[in-house]
Structure 1
């Protein structure tokens, strides 16, 4: 037993005195992300690791200060003296994050990484490495490692060792090794240390199973950290080197690709929507969801982006994950598919509220799990089958068993496409007859017809085309509002909806079709503010939730692509360039943009970056050389 005495440390304990809520949280945009293709860590420009779930994206948090600054747990690392400026950037062509502090005593930087030594590393060791380098002057720094296991609900044991400390929770052990002489503190483990010009301080935090040995640590720490740094840089650069994108917006597209890879769970091939949960869509509001799941809706965008950028291995892995989902017979209520799944392909866990956490800047409730998993959203069938169509077109093609399973999926859809559902935006106001849901049911059948004809696959083409045409005619009659000269969100009422921008993108109508052009004008008049686009107006379409929300960045990129496809290339380019200014300092986007330009919602969000990639590729094509 180490100097810590082995006494249990409470699962919650104040990390700082009570201060005003706004003073204890950085803006959402003031963060970067690192990861190891199993999980990720959110790190602020203040040098604090404020969100880290281990060993997987969807595991309970170890550091959760992003959602409760005092009781969530964090790993702080910052200069003691006055900081005059802070900068954060990614080491070129990698997901290694560098935070640089300009202080009155000198300049110091923190290099953060989660090592990846090689693709598909079966012997992967999960580590969070922090290397502090003093660039100039003499700087005194302070660090504090204060984990709070199981979202701050579980006690843990602290043992101080000759090389650092070990934190033992109910299911995990965190083994910290450091070059600095630190000690047990009221909140965890830490202390202060001095660095002269050119000196470094090293920290390696390894995630172990509860009963796993911490080892002897015979290797020289400086040599080990340098080896891990070089190997991780090499991994990311080799991976990005596969990209075939050579268009105008290479920096933004490649950063989005790196983010997409960062949100990939390599052992399963799944891609999660975001690494965080419960970050608010409005400060103080209740729209705080858990996005650490895999949405079927993201599948088409994910596969499209991976295939178009040349990342065939990732596309094949995600395709394999997807095909396992539609081999499940499902049930009568939801059919063969659910809206979202866990990384392992199981239905998402029930929604739960963490009552003991205050939420980001006081934005409660803090939700884990997602009740939308119990919704019926018929559009997911179109998105799934469209993604498989794209893989069949650009990838290696689908197997006989995959086609047989798809035909069973389609059989269910042919009988159920006309049901009311909750729709793409996962509202909680009951089921409605959504135009977009019908649109994507049309896409599902139309893509199946295409695949059958292209490859001569067995199909009941007569029945399929009859139902496909019936859906088309229904959308054109009931989804069209004659008086407003626009397609509408739901049948029987008029509500503009940004999802309708996808109509020409999925080949339902020509981008120059008068009906689409008039719908685009209505969307521009009611939902577009400069380049920013709301998904719909909650006042016109009550969604069962209190409060309003910001503009959805994915809708903004859909708008760019719609403009490009209908011949308004110059306007599309301007809108895209404006959207780039809303990215944070390292090129990342949350889900929404608030009234003052601040980022809102879970961060960073894969869907936003996927739509950025699509918009850039198609705008490049539209405006040519």
Structure 2
């Protein structure tokens, strides 16, 4: 069983793929060359599924951080006899600066050890397991490293250190003294292609320096945000950049699959894809974090991936692969036990087949946010957006699975109706640039019908809140979106009452917010959802309650680990991170809430109350 806390992991990224590294120097998750590729190391999900560990061969105190303005990880081990510094990076393309892609092939994991004082004995254990642990490759020592062959992959480990091999595991031992350093590199290639070149320690150090320069070049161009929690916002912007597939502009919801929402339960999904649902949240966050190029690229990706004859299609798909793929059929991996025995482990996500009516609103809201930045829509995009609005107008009264992807009977979820209202509201605003003036009267009529229906059937006087479903009684955190999207003014008594209901009935003792507490067709209970806590902070800020908003913000932000990464949820009893990780929506919620609180405080109070940095 894999028992390492999820929050113990730091992320590496080359904006195409990702790795997760423990605090004691073990790479337990690596997918190359893409976020959604089969894992080469998957000890995150099963102890037998592969890793690459570098650590002192003696007790050590450990601290770590990201090198300033980068996602290059620096881990410092202090032993009784000396200090070892380990730098880990997924190499950006050679010469990659700002948004210009580099010239070299992606998928190069770099690791550099340096002894800064005294002497430190070091042990290295290398156990690749391609295809999520199915393959135990043959190891072949070669000059300057190791070659591992098995299945469709060949893995080249460049190392000046001599390894011993035993089956499909290799290990090495060395002692470094002050001033000495060693560089290692791992690159995957296809079994039928020439082996990747082996790299010297000097070459590894050079690529790490180039990767640091690449990240800093990007960060310098995205540091204009001046509101509260500036460090948090800038770092979260970098995390979102790290979760963006640079060739297409798609952003993955997380870099992992099957990390559970409830330990030992079945709520284990593959999040290495792009959700239309996240679009408007994402674009607002990218705008706040001054990621204009990512904002434009993300909407362009969505508009191309979603391109379809909407009127002929029964449903606009809710999610896509990072190249725009549509078939994301789900399957189970029985060879993996799952994180803390949370089976099954899944790849693919059958939610792509679900009906979620909210996506119409999210796509049109995304278009509304970006059209001034990206210029006139091309004819195909205009046709798509008009079709989306028409479909929202035609289908808003149908039941669906909601943004929470309930795997049970379809119902009339209030949030789904709300987002159909948003879609038509934004389509009306966009009608001059869409060339759709003739549709405005019909769209306005249906928009107003939806508004009236939500006010009558979505509001429950006894609950004192807008509810999860029409004619329902259950409170749901998604109703916090009402003031965020402009459905009602933040000072409307029904909004204030709904926000209060969420704050009192859906929060735990720490103030973290659950999505809902109703049955959803799955066994087990999930933890509080960090995005929902940031939504609460955002809504409170819009209501002018900036002190309470700051407290809610701090409660959620405090759930970040030592390198500033946020999970999806928090385990209710222990407070540890659960769910797929790092979670883009949590970082998006942080950025959007920080901006809303800053706006509520006003320009004269930037950097004021509850401001950690």
Task: Calculate the TM-score normalised by the size of structure 1.
Answer: 0.92
Residue 464 (1) aligns with residue 450 (2): no
The answer on whether the counterparts of 2:16 and 2:106 sit within 8 Å (CA) in structure 1 is no
Q: Distance in 2 between matches of 1:156 and 1:569?
A: 57
Name the structure 1 match of 2:555.
578
Call closer, same or farther: CA 1:331–1:460 in 2, change over 3 Å: closer
Worse-superposed segment, 394-403 or 98-107: 394-403
Q: Distance in 1 between matches of 2:390 and 2:311?
A: 13
The answer on whether the counterparts of 1:422 and 1:428 sit within 8 Å (CA) in structure 2 is yes
Name the structure 2 match of 1:589.
566
Name the structure 1 match of 2:348.
369
SS of 1:258's equivalent in the other structure is: helix
Name the structure 2 match of 1:31.
9
In the TM superposition, 1:59-208 aligns within 5 A as: 59-69=37-47, 71-83=48-60, 85-116=61-92, 117=94, 118=96, 119-208=100-189
Displacement of 1:333: 6.6
Q: Distance in 1 between matches of 2:196 and 2:593?
A: 49
Name the structure 1 match of 2:414.
435
Q: Distance in 2 between matches of 1:438 and 1:256?
A: 30
Q: Distance in 1 between matches of 2:394 and 2:523?
A: 35
SS of 1:75's equivalent in the other structure is: strand
The answer on whether the counterparts of 1:50 and 1:63 sit within 8 Å (CA) in structure 2 is yes
The answer on whether the counterparts of 1:326 and 1:409 sit within 8 Å (CA) in structure 2 is no
Residue 473 (1) aligns with residue 449 (2): no
Q: Distance in 2 between matches of 1:410 and 1:427?
A: 24
Displacement of 1:395: 4.2
Displacement of 1:123: 3.5
Displacement of 1:167: 1.4
The answer on whether the counterparts of 1:429 and 1:542 sit within 8 Å (CA) in structure 2 is no
Structure 1 portions without partners, runs of 5+: 1-20
SS of 1:132's equivalent in the other structure is: strand
Q: Distance in 1 between matches of 2:121 and 2:283?
A: 48
Work out which of the residue numbers 275, 280, 286 in structure 1 matches 2:255: 275
SS of 2:154's equivalent in the other structure is: strand
Residue 623 (1) aligns with residue 605 (2): no
Q: Distance in 1 between matches of 2:327 and 2:538?
A: 32
Displacement of 1:494: 0.4
The answer on whether the counterparts of 1:41 and 1:53 sit within 8 Å (CA) in structure 2 is yes
Q: Distance in 2 between matches of 1:597 and 1:293?
A: 27
SS of 1:329's equivalent in the other structure is: coil
Displacement of 1:103: 2.2
Work out which of the residue numbers 307, 310, 323 in structure 2 matches 1:327: 307
Work out which of the residue numbers 190, 196, 208 in structure 2 matches 1:209: 190
Name the structure 2 match of 1:50.
28
Worse-superposed segment, 439-448 or 371-380: 371-380
The answer on whether the counterparts of 1:293 and 1:348 sit within 8 Å (CA) in structure 2 is no
Work out which of the residue numbers 538, 546, 553 in structure 2 matches 1:561: 538
In the TM superposition, 1:192-271 aligns within 5 A as: 192-214=173-195, 217=198, 221-243=200-222, 244-271=224-251
SS of 1:277's equivalent in the other structure is: coil
SS of 1:99's equivalent in the other structure is: strand
The answer on whether the counterparts of 1:307 and 1:395 sit within 8 Å (CA) in structure 2 is no
The answer on whether the counterparts of 2:458 and 2:472 sit within 8 Å (CA) in structure 1 is no
Displacement of 1:64: 0.3
Worse-superposed segment, 382-391 or 319-328: 319-328
Displacement of 1:104: 2.9
Question: For the aligned residues, what is the CA RMSD?
Answer: 1.7
The answer on whether the counterparts of 1:108 and 1:139 sit within 8 Å (CA) in structure 2 is yes
| CA deviations over 1:265-312 (Å, ceiling 9, x no partner) | 111111100000011112111111110111111111222222233222
SS of 1:361's equivalent in the other structure is: coil
Displacement of 1:96: 0.1
Displacement of 1:155: 4.4
Call closer, same or farther: CA 1:512–1:454 in 2, change over 3 Å: farther
Name the structure 2 match of 1:287.
267
Work out which of the residue numbers 363, 375, 381 in structure 2 matches 1:402: 381
Name the structure 2 match of 1:314.
294
Q: Distance in 2 between matches of 1:142 and 1:298?
A: 43
The answer on whether the counterparts of 2:237 and 2:291 sit within 8 Å (CA) in structure 1 is no
Q: Distance in 2 between matches of 1:331 and 1:369?
A: 27
Call closer, same or farther: CA 1:167–1:453 in 2, change over 3 Å: same
Work out which of the residue numbers 489, 494, 501 in structure 2 matches 1:510: 489
Structure 2 portions without partners, runs of 5+: 605-613
Q: Distance in 2 between matches of 1:262 and 1:47?
A: 20
Displacement of 1:172: 2.0
The answer on whether the counterparts of 1:180 and 1:202 sit within 8 Å (CA) in structure 2 is no
Q: Distance in 1 between matches of 2:434 and 2:571?
A: 47
The answer on whether the counterparts of 2:228 and 2:595 sit within 8 Å (CA) in structure 1 is no
